[in-house]
Structure 1
Amino acid sequence: MFKIKVLNHDVIEEILGMKEVIEVVEKVYTLKSEEKTELFPMVFHEFERGIADMDIKSGHLKGIDIFGLKLVTWFGENHKKNLPPLIGTIMVFDSKTGKPLGILNAEYITGMRTGAAGAIGAKYLARKDSENLLMIGTGHISTFQIAATLIAMDNIKTVRIYDPINHDNARKLSESIKETLMNKFLSKYEVGTEIYKEINEKFDIYFEAVNDIKEAVSLSDVIITATPSRKPLIMKKWVKKGTHFSCVGADMEGKQEIDENIFGVARVYVDDINQAVNVGETEIPVKKGIITKENIIAEIGDVITERAKGRISDDDITIYDTTGIALQDLLTSKLVLDISEEKGLGVEVNL
């Protein structure tokens, strides 16, 4: 018999800070670059086509001695039963003994690590003097993307927000985002500390909703896309030299957020090459022959560890295709488990 920690959504949200998650996700990419990780094949099953499915993403962080999985289910008719349609659970194990270390609600961890991933792409590939951020999409993940990118970058002064379906969603987010950033992200840090002052200053910028995506693209230095789109929202002819894209939404075959022809003139980076060409934004450009798998410059971890070059000039258009990998969930979960142990939070269960 041994003890295992169980952490719910509220405890995780209370103790997890975005700056620390950015550091953790960077660590994941570094370990992957150093070949100290392993991703296991993804499992996907449809219980009923278009109504109920599940997927399991899993892996091993050899450099940290943990392995585990994230299981996400989608049951589209759960609202009839007063249940959320999307439910995620993470399990973390000790890779030296096989002992389970924790069971965690996956929702907040997924949002945080996804936001961190998009931001890391911008941090390492966008121009350092970038001032204008365009957020495409206003769903749940958009707040995490904005928070992480502002924390990771030093000179963003304006955030424009665009919703491809309903402009009112962009307007509402632009009006509420500053309060959300202060209450949900800045509040994790002690008032008066250097980190508090730094993040507070980065959040104190201008936010606006935009209705003309063509004009917004032309004004933007960094563009983050986080939608479920299956057709391009941004066309190549709108994109100015020096623009960086972090493409977050495409995580399934057939999804697409930007014109595939942009890939033909861009330096392309990914979180995992095999996932990117199969289910990421890179999938369609490869299938249409605009680029090949070999045209991908590198995985982002190789840029962080300086095994590969990132942006070469201010005129480069750069793309970071992040499909999301289980390793991000696992190391973020390890961070949460460690903090919860220090603070005496969560529930311990005897198995």
Structure 2
Amino acid sequence: MKKTIILTQSEIKELIQMDQVLDAVEMAYAEHAHKRVQMPAKEYLFFEKGDLRIMPCYLQDLGESGVKCVNVHPTNPQKQDLPTVMAMIELVDPETGFPLAIMDGTWITNMRTGAAGGVAAKYLARKDVETLGLVGAGKQAYTQLMALNEVIDIQEAEVYCRTCSSREAFAKKMSETYDIPVKAVDSPQKAVENKDIVVTVTPVDHPVIKTEWISPGTHINAMGADAPGKEELETELVLKSRVFIDNWDQASHSGEINVPFSRGLLQEQDLAGNLGDVIIGKNPGRISDEEITIFDSTGLAVQDIATSWTVYEKAIEMKIGRSIDFLE
């Protein structure tokens, strides 16, 4: 009888590194752009203190399918000693529907979101970028820098978040881990001014980045907006930039563009296109060193399932994980 593999977060960390996640996520975007993916837009359940999202996906040509269930509860770290984001992923055999694996999806979510920013910078940032500004110093900020360090030669970085101890701890750890001078600063303006790449990973409901702080030629990874009404960038900045998205249905509903779209200030035809189309050569991406580019990341189930499938195959190969017969 076939058995289901159970994988914990610590086991997953043994099985996959950022360079492999970058490859999986880039491939996932390409498959999505080639329209070889079934992927309904994520569905939400809204609670008093957070939300729950269901994200199914089927990569048809690769025979990989599964579903992620992920929460976002911003007050968890302060009140429950739990992560803001937690997730579980089930991988399903497309031929039989059998649950091949059930695994922690929290680390995979963090890693694939970091990888999305890395892939976006690879295709949309200028080729001569050296400086990085981060607004937000949570777990997503760590994986953003981790991924960017794989694709760009970062010479220096500055980070801001509202909690002094968090930004100081981030700067210290990242400086030591990657041998990059990372400095904690006391305002978002200082973090993003005169930077080649800007990353925003915050839970804010109102813009934290002003238009005048961003230099010509900057690439921005806007990673934080993940629900209706949330935005990290001033609308004026969005409207003056070339904006790339991962998925129109999700971005217009809950991504960085959702607020200007809801106000009638931006339509789908105003966007520069999908990141996947840039990857497969259908869209030119950045067209000048002076333009500001924005990647509005909402997170796609195809990223999770492609990454999880890589984890699953390595677990089989290395005989890691616990097997359970659910039909017993």
TM-score normalised by length of structure 1? 0.87
Matched letter for residue 121 of structure 2: A
Task: Figure out how many residues of one structure are paired with residues of the other and give that number.
Answer: 325
- 1:1-351 equivalences under 5 Å are 1-46=1-46, 49-51=47-49, 53-73=51-71, 86-153=85-152, 155-163=153-161, 165-179=162-176, 181=177, 203-351=178-326
**Change in CA separation of 1:250 and 1:52 when aligned onto 2, cut-off 3 Å:** closer
1:178 shift after superposition: 3.3
**Change in CA separation of 1:266 and 1:80 when aligned onto 2, cut-off 3 Å:** closer
1:233 shift after superposition: 0.9
Q: Is the 8 A contact 2:159 2:171 kept in 1?
A: yes
What do the CA deviations read for 1:73-100 (whole angstroms, capped 9, x no partner)? 4676899887667531100112233222
Q: Is the 8 A contact 2:175 2:181 kept in 1?
A: no
**Change in CA separation of 1:347 and 1:138 when aligned onto 2, cut-off 3 Å:** same
What do the CA deviations read for 1:172-215 (whole angstroms, capped 9, x no partner)? 21112234x4xxxxxxxxxxxxxxxxxxxxx3221111124324
The whole-number CA distance in structure 2 between the counterparts of 1:310 and 1:327 is 21
Q: Is the 8 A contact 1:73 1:88 kept in 2?
A: yes
**Change in CA separation of 1:77 and 1:173 when aligned onto 2, cut-off 3 Å:** closer
Aligned-pair identity in percent equals: 33
**Change in CA separation of 1:77 and 1:309 when aligned onto 2, cut-off 3 Å:** closer
Report what 1:185 is aligned to.
none
**Change in CA separation of 1:85 and 1:322 when aligned onto 2, cut-off 3 Å:** closer
Q: Is the 8 A contact 2:42 2:250 kept in 1?
A: no
Q: Is the 8 A contact 2:199 2:220 kept in 1?
A: yes
1:58 shift after superposition: 1.1
1:281 shift after superposition: 0.2
What do the CA deviations read for 1:99-146 (whole angstroms, capped 9, x no partner)? 221101011111100100011111110101011001110111111011
Q: Is the 8 A contact 1:263 1:290 kept in 2?
A: no
Which runs of 5 or more residues in structure 1 are unaligned?
Answer: 182-202
Matched letter for residue 113 of structure 2: T
The whole-number CA distance in structure 1 between the counterparts of 2:7 and 2:117 is 26
Matched letter for residue 140 of structure 2: I
**Change in CA separation of 1:173 and 1:73 when aligned onto 2, cut-off 3 Å:** closer
The whole-number CA distance in structure 2 between the counterparts of 1:73 and 1:169 is 22
The whole-number CA distance in structure 2 between the counterparts of 1:312 and 1:83 is 43
**Change in CA separation of 1:8 and 1:255 when aligned onto 2, cut-off 3 Å:** same
1:45 shift after superposition: 2.2
The whole-number CA distance in structure 1 between the counterparts of 2:141 and 2:60 is 32
Which shows bigger deviation, 119-128 or 280-289?
280-289
**Which aligned segments of 4 or more residues in structure 1 are displaced greater than 3 angstroms?**
73-87
Q: Is the 8 A contact 1:19 1:151 kept in 2?
A: yes
The whole-number CA distance in structure 1 between the counterparts of 2:164 and 2:206 is 18
The whole-number CA distance in structure 2 between the counterparts of 1:321 and 1:74 is 18
Give the superposed CA RMSD: 2.0
The whole-number CA distance in structure 2 between the counterparts of 1:342 and 1:208 is 41
